[in-house]
């Protein structure tokens, strides 16, 4: 049974890498005068973030992991999971990653200073079906977590935004 789960995950990793690749040469701009901490956030996706976002564990470095997923050479022995990285968590993350680029084609909900359990993010966005938390520095923020469903905190300001994109 584990082999069929891992083979299914492998197939989803291949599709997710293709989808994720479409975001690598873009900067997504999220801005609103209603934001408190900064009026504009630039979101950048890097190959090195992909492994962490999938929920699987690998002995490959993050760049090699993405490359192997992207070129379809990843093997089921190249990744694993444990009780912390459970099957449901991995399934939910991959379901989100397979459609991640379309999230930025429509109006989103955004929240600054997002906190969920031990995850602290500078910004989080949600389209209702999943939430992405971002962390980073002064210029750009980078994806830190992908969560199933809308996980924004209802007790904090949630702002409707329409993302825009620019090519690098």
| pLDDT recorded at residue 86 | 87
Surface-to-core class of residue 59, CB atoms within 10 Å of its CB (0-12 exposed, 13-18 middle, 19+ buried): exposed
Residue 148 contacts residue 92 (beta carbons within 8 Å): yes
Q: Residue 58 is encoded by which pair of tokens?
A: 């690998």
Residue 54 contacts residue 90 (beta carbons within 8 Å): yes
Structure pTM?
0.92
Residue 131 contacts residue 125 (beta carbons within 8 Å): yes
The CA distance from 158 to 111, in Å, is: 5
Q: What is the pLDDT along the chain (168 residues), one digit of tens a residue?
A: 457 999 999 999 999 999 999 999 999 999 999 999 999 999 999 999 999 999 999 999 999 999 999 999 999 999 999 876 689 999 999 999 999 999 999 999 999 999 998 899 999 999 999 999 999 877 899 999 999 999 999 999 999 999 999 987
| pLDDT recorded at residue 83 | 72
Which CA distances in Å does 23 have to 20, 43, 51, 134, 142? 6, 10, 15, 14, 12
């Amino acid at each position: 049974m584990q082999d069929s789960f891992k083979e299914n995950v492998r197939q989803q990793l291949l599709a997710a890498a293709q989808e994720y690749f479409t975001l690598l040469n873009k900067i997504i701009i999220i801005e609103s005068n209603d934001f408190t901490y900064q009026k504009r956030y630039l979101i950048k996706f890097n190959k090195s973030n992909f492994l962490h976002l999938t929920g699987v564990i690998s002995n490959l470095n993050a760049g090699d992991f993405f490359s192997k997923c992207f070129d379809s050479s990843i093997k089921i022995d190249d990744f694993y999971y444990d009780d912390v990285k459970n099957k449901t968590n991995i399934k939910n993350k991959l379901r989100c990653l397979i459609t991640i680029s379309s999230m930025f084609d429509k109006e989103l909900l955004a929240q600054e200073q997002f906190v969920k359990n031990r995850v602290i993010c500078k910004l989080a966005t949600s389209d209702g079906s999943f939430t992405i938390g971002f962390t980073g520095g002064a210029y750009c923020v980078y994806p830190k977590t992908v969560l199933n469903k809308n996980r924004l905190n209802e007790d904090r300001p949630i702002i409707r935004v329409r993302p825009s994109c620019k090519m690098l």
